[in-house]
Amino acid sequence: MEPEEIAELRTMYVFTPPEGQSWGLTFESLEATLRERNPDAFVRVDTEGPVRGSSMHFGITLGDEQMEGLARLSSEGVAVLDCNAHLAAEFVLWLRDRVAPTGMTVMFNTEWGLEDDLPPTPVPDAPQPRIVAAFVTHIEETGGLD
């Protein structure tokens, strides 16, 4: 498969702070940041299940697509679901600019990387095309092409 084709594959991308660090993420602050981007953004904090308020689901427009995301405070991180590398790169640039503390590295993994027990990898501090290339390399290292 060519890199351009790999970049179009869809999976869940998970973004987290480096191990042992925190973004200071709260659902309230993430919701406010999402609403700055789009006042009508879909946001829902789970009130069902064994741990109420343990996750937040949200919608975000990336490119021309309405995407669904998920945030957690325990095992702090934010994920974007059913996403290709280009949209994930757009998302992480927004996340790094608006959610993560200035200068803090953002780590990433994918659903396929998690299934293969791959550790999180730093998102390059680079323009979008280099971030997409890092995501493609990651997918090549996982079982995502099988």
Q: Is the pLDDT of residue 46 over 90?
A: no
Q: Are 49 and 24 in contact (CB under 8 A)?
A: no
Point out which residues pair with 57 in neighbouring strands: 44, 70
Domain that holds residue 51: 3-145
Question: In this structure, what token pair is assigned to residue 50?
Answer: 């064994």
CATH (domain of 101): 3.30.310
pLDDT in tens, 52-95: 557 899 999 998 999 999 999 988 999 999 999 999 999 999 99
User: How many domains in the chain?
Assistant: 1
- Threshold 0.85, pTM exceeds: yes
